[in-house]
């Protein structure tokens, strides 16, 4: 084979650089599309489903799922799945997913180049062979250095292997998912607090109505018992002062009701 000329080497470098730029462009476009798609909702399940669908379609994956951690650390909850969007709240035992368990506990990306040959996955080797699965990549989703979930990606045997740039792109998507999850959580907490505040306001209003109704009935009963003629014992000035005080009290109550 004749030696490669400088011109040929330059052409190879140029093609490699163009492929790299095209890949970076694809990642950037995908990131923008994901951000646009998730900007229309604050429901975290819809957001995560959008991410899995985008990645699954973009890379032609066998599986693309997102799991969220459980407090006990022995299980995780499958909340979004590319291959089966109907699955949105499925509890899984991490002992059956050692690669997922490792990513959640270590906070580091786990990459298995040949899933069918991995001894830790021998319990599902038949499923992997039937599906024609090849690689498994698990990318942690962390918020402020705390792992709250992970993205699980599995390729077909004849699929294109992930590059280092692809792994970095998945990590970027993981950070986006973490921030969106945090915002969705804050939104849900705010909505809950507003609902609680509205309920407290409704209860306070009912208590006020009940108290006013009780006082009204008590005064009416007292008046019927003693008779309205007893007010005649008061002087005109005393009656006028009582009327004035009642007007002042009603004015204060009215202004307080406005929140002033």
- The label of the residue with tokens 């011109």 reads 7
- Tell me: the pLDDT tens digits for 201-247? 677 777 777 767 767 776 676 666 655 555 555 676 776 777 777 77
Q: Looking at 156, 191, 226, which one is the last position of a domain? A: 191
For the sheet with 110-112, list strands across it.
Answer: 90-93, 75-81, 63-69, 146-156, 133-143, 110-112
Do 178 and 217 fall within a single domain? no
Residue 10 maps to a domain: yes
pLDDT of residue 179: 82
Residue 1 maps to a domain: no
pLDDT cut 90: percent of the chain above it: 28
**Which tokens hold the place of 78?**
């499958």
- Check pLDDT > 90 for residue 183: no
The closest of 96, 44, 35, 38 to 66, measured between CA atoms, is 44
- Check pLDDT > 80 for residue 91: yes
**Which tokens hold the place of 151?**
């993205």
Residue 137 maps to a domain: yes
Contact 99, 182 (CB under 8 A): no
pLDDT of residue 154: 94
Residue range of the domain that includes 231: 205-257
Residue 163 contacts by C-beta under 8 Å, 6 or more apart in sequence?
Answer: 23
Q: What is the pTM of this model?
A: 0.64
- Tell me: the pLDDT tens digits for 4-52? 576 666 666 777 677 777 777 878 787 787 777 667 666 778 888 989 9
The CATH number covering residue 107 comes to 3.30.450.40
The closest of 225, 159, 155, 176 to 38, measured between CA atoms, is 176
Dist. CA 171–CA 216, nearest whole Å: 67
Do 236 and 112 fall within a single domain? no
Comparing 175 with 219, which gets the higher pLDDT? 175
Mean pLDDT of the region 47-62: 90
Mean pLDDT of the region 128-149: 90
Q: Looking at 167, 191, 215, which one is the last position of a domain? A: 191
Do 131 and 45 fall within a single domain? yes
Do 186 and 212 fall within a single domain? no
- Give Cα separations from 187 to 67, 190, 196 (angstroms): 21, 5, 14
């Amino acid at each position: 084979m004749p030696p490669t000329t400088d011109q040929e080497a330059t052409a190879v470098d140029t093609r490699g650089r163009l492929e790299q730029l095209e890949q970076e462009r694809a990642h950037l476009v995908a990131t923008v599309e994901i951000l646009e798609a998730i900007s229309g909702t604050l429901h975290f399940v819809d957001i995560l489903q959008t991410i899995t669908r985008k990645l699954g379609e973009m890379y032609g994956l066998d599986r693309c799922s997102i799991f969220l951690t459980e407090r006990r650390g022995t299980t995780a909850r499958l909340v979004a799945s590319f291959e089966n969007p109907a699955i949105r709240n499925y509890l899984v035992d991490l002992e059956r997913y050692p690669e997922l368990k490792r990513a959640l506990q270590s906070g580091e990306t786990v990459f298995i180049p040949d899933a069918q040959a991995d001894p830790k996955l021998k319990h599902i080797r038949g499923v992997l062979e039937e599906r024609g699965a090849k690689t498994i990549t698990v990318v942690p989703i962390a918020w402020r250095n705390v792992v709250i979930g992970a993205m699980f990606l599995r390729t077909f045997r004849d699929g294109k292997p992930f590059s280092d740039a692809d792994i970095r792109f998945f990590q970027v998507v993981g950070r986006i998912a973490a921030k969106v999850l945090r915002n969705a959580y804050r939104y849900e907490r705010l909505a809950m607090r507003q609902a609680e505040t509205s309920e407290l306001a409704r209860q306070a209003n009912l208590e006020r109505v009940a108290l006013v109704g009780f006082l009204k009935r008590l005064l009416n009963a007292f008046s019927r018992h003693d008779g309205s003629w007893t007010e005649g014992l008061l002087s005109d000035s005393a009656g006028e002062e009582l009327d004035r005080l009642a007007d002042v009290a009603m004015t204060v109550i009215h202004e307080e009701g406005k929140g002033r």
